[in-house]
Amino acid sequence: MKANWRTCLVSLSLLLSAGILPAGEMDPSSPRQEVVLAAGWEFHRGPEAQAPAPGFDDSARESIRLPHTWNARDGQDGGGDYYRGDGWYRRHFRVEGSWAGKQVYLQFDGANRSAEVFLNGRRLGAHRGGFARFRFDATAVLDFAGENLLAVRVNNDPNDNMVPVSADFTFFGGLYRAVSLIATERVHLDLLDYASPGVYVRQAKVSAEAAELDALVRLANDGEATSQIRVRLTVLDAAGNTVRVVENTGSLPARSRVQTAIGFVLPQPHLWNGLADPYLYQVRTEVFAGETLSDAIVLPLGLRYFKVDPDSGFFLNGRYLDLHGVNRHQDRPDKGWAISEADEREDFDLISEIGATADRQSHYQQSQSWSDLGDRSGLVMWAELPFVNDVKNDPEFFANAKEQLRELIRQNHHHPSICFWSIGNETFVRDAKVIPADTNDRLLHELATVAHEEDPSRLSTYASNGDVKELRASHTDVIAFNHYFGWYRGEVEDFASWLDQQHSLRPDLKIGMSEYGAGANPAQHEEPVRKPEAPGPWHPEEWQSHFHEVYWQALAQRPWVWGKFVWNMFDFASDGRNEGGTPGRNDKGLVTYDRKTKKDAFYWYKANWSDQPVLHITSRRFAARTQPITTVKVYSNAETVDLRVNGVSRGRKTSTNHIFLWPDVELVKGENQIAASAQRDGRELEDHCIRIYSPQTDAAP
């Protein structure tokens, strides 16, 4: 759930003594305190047996600030040789003496892939999994009067018994999300419940008439005496007005963890309705020990109901909603996964600009701030377990996959934007002679069972790169496919017939498209365009555009495809790749890795998906021409578009599919001015580019 509750009260003296920044907005009514350990870290790449020792000299180590990865450069430059091993982080800090008598936790929002945590020379514990938040109770080890030493060993070696074993993206090692200290009273919400908020408001039944809710609150008493407690839930509307208050009382024994359930109904709820109306309530949960407020947090609450029909697609609050959107990897050039909230907002703004209604968080648990953006904007989200590629026939491997799925669900349960829990992507048995062929299906079945046990209110899903004839079993509520006709295999025109075949062979299945796409280097161009070798050195931008034109026109005519997710929104690092003229890069993004260039295919989708006026001349980066005759293509959601070449009108065109074509345009030698104009919603639209014609001449004999 929410990575930082932002409900802390931190004294200025604590901030000054620790050199720590406050964790965002704070609720002064809560006694919980939280600080972020951002600056002041020392880092060493490689093994360091003495690193946990308080007396170890780290003065020669690299000084860094979180978030951090040690693969920011070597994980993106190709060769498949980026560093995979240990990285040691050390930080000295002090806490205010008033924290004595409180319960203090260390929180890590993301450490890839595994982490071992030491405080003042003592091992607090380890966490296995690169994407979920985790916490340790530091109370018994913390020095409340002097200096403390936090040492963390992070390792991104793939040779361990957990998911994912391998994947087609770089595993950036490091403490790439925030590290925090949280101080609570002895009686508090349970922070060790898979690092969740400890509060789950389950939507048992929701309609326009009433929302039946079941709140489950997990509590902890780390004191030495039994406490009489009162749990109060206050539901606030979007304006901050109280709409419902419910309470429960009981006795909480010393050194115990319990849960309490509270059921209640909200009549005539204001529904969370996607982009059209992403209405959010808030639920304030307060825990009183006797008459004293002991802990409090605030969570968003978006009330909605949804379903998928095999013949009609996705319905939100009883109405059809076309779920079309993108897959998103979180890395950035020279940063890897160690990105900022500003980076995430820029990514989200680009996805919003294109007109997406949905986002697939591929292929791992993404940040709390990312899902917060989805909640507030109304973007429907698919959240995914990082079970990718290989499966191992080992109880420890099975247990780790299920553990990471529970973390994903419990930490993100409160996000109304998340409607789907994915249990994996393109998983397989690599060698059936070594591992029983049914191993993958056995684990998928167990994961689907965990998803239903943890959260029966949402739909489970899975991304397969097979087809319905190859499905050994259908484990999840819905399923989706990753296919690249016209790129890795077959012809792009094969896609529509393949899709219809899947539906006719298994009309009972609720089928989506979780991935489809083609690479594009914005510096590579050709006319006329031909299907390139994939993966290969030549990824012309024009082929990516043609690919997506064919795919989207097929998908737009098939509403029964419940979700349609482009691969990928952004180019991303895959250090083992060497294609499209850029080593270490998967260039299937609609936007370049640095987020500076929107490829033509971006505007194709924007013209189809967005309500904003769009007018875009394609192949604008293909300025230098050697042939005198060319085709000018424009993407627009206007009814008609006018084209002028060197000031002379080439005529006004209409289109029923957002593609406007002017074939056989003759260029003059030198620079040619291309200008398109249109009207949409009372606005005058214009776009311009140049084409420079230099005739080819045969070499002299």
In angstroms, rounded to a whole number, what is the distance separating the alpha carbons of residues 550 and 313? Answer: 21
Residues with a known catalytic role: 426
Q: How many CB atoms lie within 10 A of CB 27?
A: 15
Q: How many CB atoms lie within 10 A of CB 544?
A: 28
| Average of per-residue pLDDT across 128-157 | 97
pLDDT at position 120 is: 98
pLDDT, tens digit, 9 for 90 and up, residues 246-265: 999 999 999 999 999 999 99
Q: Per-residue confidence at 288, pLDDT binned at 50, 70, 90?
A: very high
17: pLDDT strictly greater than 60: no
pLDDT at position 699 is: 44
577: pLDDT strictly greater than 50: yes
pLDDT, tens digit, 9 for 90 and up, residues 513-567: 999 999 999 999 999 999 999 889 999 999 999 999 999 999 999 999 999 999 9
Could you tell me if residue 255 is left (phi over 0), alpha (psi between -120 and 50 degrees) or otherwise beta?
left
pLDDT at position 159 is: 80
In angstroms, rounded to a whole number, what is the distance separating the alpha carbons of residues 326 and 314? Answer: 16
Q: Per-residue confidence at 60, pLDDT binned at 50, 70, 90?
A: confident
19: pLDDT strictly greater than 50: no
3-state secondary structure of 416: coil
Q: Per-residue confidence at 643, pLDDT binned at 50, 70, 90?
A: very high
Check: CB of residue 591 under 8 Å from CB of residue 599.
yes
3-state secondary structure of 449: helix
In angstroms, rounded to a whole number, what is the distance separating the alpha carbons of residues 169 and 499? Answer: 27
Distances in whole angstroms, Cα of residue 511 to Cα of each of 325, 386, 440? 16, 21, 20
In angstroms, rounded to a whole number, what is the distance separating the alpha carbons of residues 287 and 185? Answer: 10
3: pLDDT strictly greater than 90: no
pLDDT at position 10 is: 31
In angstroms, rounded to a whole number, what is the distance separating the alpha carbons of residues 287 and 134? Answer: 22
pLDDT at position 27 is: 57
Residue type, 23: A
Query: Tokens in use for 529?
Result: 């365009």
pLDDT, tens digit, 9 for 90 and up, residues 486-511: 999 999 999 999 999 999 999 999 99
Check: CB of residue 195 under 8 Å from CB of residue 407.
yes
21: pLDDT strictly greater than 70: no
Element at 439 (helix H, strand E): helix 439-454
5: pLDDT strictly greater than 80: no
Nearest to 276 by CA among 213, 319, 325: 319
In angstroms, rounded to a whole number, what is the distance separating the alpha carbons of residues 517 and 64? Answer: 37
Domains of the chain by range and CATH?
A: 12-185 (2.60.120.260), 199-301 (2.60.40.10), 624-693 (2.60.40.10)
Query: Pairing relation of β-strands 511-515 and 103-108?
Result: unpaired
Q: Per-residue confidence at 95, pLDDT binned at 50, 70, 90?
A: very high
| Average of per-residue pLDDT across 110-126 | 98
The dihedral sign for the CA sequence 235, 201, 408, 329: negative
pLDDT, tens digit, 9 for 90 and up, residues 605-616: 999 999 999 999
- Gyration radius (Cα) of the chain, Å: 27
- Site of tokens 């978006």: 302
| Average of per-residue pLDDT across 108-129 | 98
Q: How many CB atoms lie within 10 A of CB 89?
A: 26
